[in-house]
Amino acid sequence: MIHVINPATEQRIASYDLHTPAQVGQMLEKASKAQRSWALKPIEERAELLLAIAAVLRRNRAAYARLITREMGKPITEAEAEIEKSAVTCEFYAKTAPVFLADISVASNARDSRVVFDPLGVVLAIMPWNYPFWQFIRFAAPALAVGNGAVLKHANNVPGCALALEQAFKEAGAPDGLVAALLIEASDVAGVLADKRIAAVTLTGSTAVGKLVAAQAGRLMKKQVLELGGSDPFIVLADADVPAAAKAAVKARFSNTGQSCISSKRFIIDASVADQFVEAFCDAVKALKAGDPEDRGTDIGPMARENLRDDIHAQVRKSIQQGARLLLGGKPVAGPGYFYEPTVLDHVGPDMTAATEETFGPVAAIIRAADTEEAIRIANATEFGLGAALWTSDLAAAETLARRIEAGAVFVNGMVASDARLPFGGIKQSGYGRELGEFGIREFTNIKTLWIGPAR
């Protein structure tokens, strides 16, 4: 049995029975059969389904957003934006999939030689709770356009979102079973991944879980895409527009209550402008409104689970003990709900907990760098490599510096964000493979060489 706790009230709001092994087997069999038929459909027909899904998402936006907010605590306006972003992504792939998946002719000694993109089969999607609709849609839209099927194992604090996604695809007209949500325990995932009807796996989650999934998938010789943890640097150089950088930094850190892999977490500021940045940053943080996530004026909601709040508080306390200076926040909010005060730590050393570990919550770590070279060195001194932001007025130098930053994406004079048009993913302990864009749609394809000689 899965019990759902509203993180804003700590009240149980729903309970769900787990699927039995027999039910899981039946769902995998239906998904396999549906996928084989789906793969034979013209790509134009598959694209039409994505447009229908976008329409369903928008039609049910208010209900879906409320479900997200009540299950994991995201402020309601951000939940609504998540649904819209999911719809836009479906429309993007409906338009571009025929282009991205078109055969590529290659000159050779054959009469005709080309590269074609075939589906792999049914993909297991292991998804997190922090963006419960978007994380799945950004995988599923391109995967279905290719001709794959999708079986979703969602985080067990958002089972209602998982079932709503399954129903949304049914409402849009997807073949029965092509998209299925499994309500199972984490301990049951290995058995699903090992099932012969699963061709590949995608995971968005922690690095520790990613290593477990990668090891099993590797033994099974099954394709995998892993989007894991991050400790993204937000670098502000001496010549940056400091007020603009500080304003963007607050959104980059505190959106979704700081519970995002690509939230900026380490703010590496040139010492010559650090005081100016810190003052502007703290003023903006003080203006954030924390409270009921269903209130449209709320900026900061609760953390998704009590243990996550306990973890972030332990990281804050340890960093302070190591010498970091607490400027704002620093403790749980009294009363019901898993709320944590928006927190700013200054004079964080590169070896302190707030700099070396992923802080998954509303905590900003400010690190002062002597100069540009030290800023880049500190930015790269992490096991993670997901995204990075770089702020400078020298755009020519920015391009050179960006290439030195070890990350899957570098945003100059902007906050890191995912965009359906651009590939998304990390390096080092942040994972491998790409989602989104032209590269993402090809991850779960058989990139096949087709060589045709002369007729005999």
For 348, what's the count of Cα atoms within 13 Å in the CB-facing half-sphere? 31
Buried b vs exposed e over 292-307: b needs ≥16 C-beta within 10 Å? Answer: bbbeeebbbbbbbbee
Q: What CA–CA distance (Å, rounded) separates 160 from 251?
A: 28
CA nearest 386: which of 214, 232, 204?
Answer: 232
91 is an active site residue: no
Buried b vs exposed e over 326-358: b needs ≥16 C-beta within 10 Å? Answer: ebbbbebbeeebbbbbbbbbbebbbebbbbbbb
Which of these is catalytic: 80, 82, 166, 261? 261
- Cβ atoms of 325 and 368 closer than 8 Å: no
Which of these is catalytic: 80, 227, 357, 443? 227
227 is an active site residue: yes
Which residues are catalytically annotated? 227, 261
